[in-house]
């Protein structure tokens, strides 16, 4: 069974209660349940992490090869636009990575239009709400086939 690391970045623990006009009413727990159902159907194992701390995210990515992680699904949230450290960690581990966002970052404020992660990821899916995660997980699984 292939292990896929799912990383939820800062403030995603507040989903369902914060800016529901942008991020929807689905909670992180509900997203994780949907991801788990898809992973089970596809024969994959998920390792779920949510952190508001950049260094913790970097650490989790850095130890991913040792932990047997075959692919990474990441919503870096606000760190998308600011974290060279997360970008460098993704590049360093050379694990297939899919970046996802609930909202369309390119239809929002100008500062959100630049992803530091996208150039080192295999692809990016944004703007489809919870389906961004599900499409991203399916993409990560397909990369492993």
CATH of the domain at 99: 3.40.50.9100
H-helix segments, 5-96: 20-23, 28-42, 54-62, 84-93
Q: Residue 38: what pLDDT?
A: 98
**What is each CA distance from 69 to 44, 102, 136, in whole angstroms?**
11, 24, 16
| 55-95 pLDDT tens trace | 999 999 999 999 999 999 999 999 999 999 999 999 999 99
Catalytic residues: 23, 101
pLDDT exceeds 90 at position 110: no
SS3 state of residue 92 = helix
Q: Residue 135: what pLDDT?
A: 98
Q: Residue 111: what pLDDT?
A: 77
Q: Find the domain containing 134 and state its range.
A: 2-144
Close Cβ partners of 54 (under 8 Å, ≥ 6 residues apart): 79, 83, 85, 86
Q: Residue 1: what pLDDT?
A: 75
Domains held by the chain: number: 1
Instruction: Classify 16 in phi/psi space as left (phi over 0), alpha (psi -120 to 50) or beta.
Output: left
The lowest-confidence range among 6-20, 84-98, 104-118 is 104-118
pTM: 0.95
| 22-42 pLDDT tens trace | 888 999 999 999 999 999 999
């Amino acid at each position: 069974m292939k292990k896929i690391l799912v990383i939820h970045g800062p403030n995603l623990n507040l989903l369902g209660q914060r800016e529901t006009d942008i991020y929807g009413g689905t909670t992180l727990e509900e997203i994780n349940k949907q991801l788990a159902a898809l992973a089970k159907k596809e024969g994959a194992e998920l390792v779920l992490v949510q952190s508001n701390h950049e260094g913790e995210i970097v650490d989790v990515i850095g130890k991913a090869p040792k932990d047997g992680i075959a692919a990474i699904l990441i919503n870096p949230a606000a760190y998308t636009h600011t974290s060279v450290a997360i970008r460098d960690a993704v590049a360093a581990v050379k694990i297939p990575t899919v970046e996802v966002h609930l909202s369309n970052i390119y239809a929002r404020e100008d500062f959100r239009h630049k992803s530091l992660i996208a150039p080192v990821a295999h692809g990016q899916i944004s703007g489809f709400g919870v389906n961004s995660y599900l499409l991203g997980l399916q993409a990560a699984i397909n990369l492993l086939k």
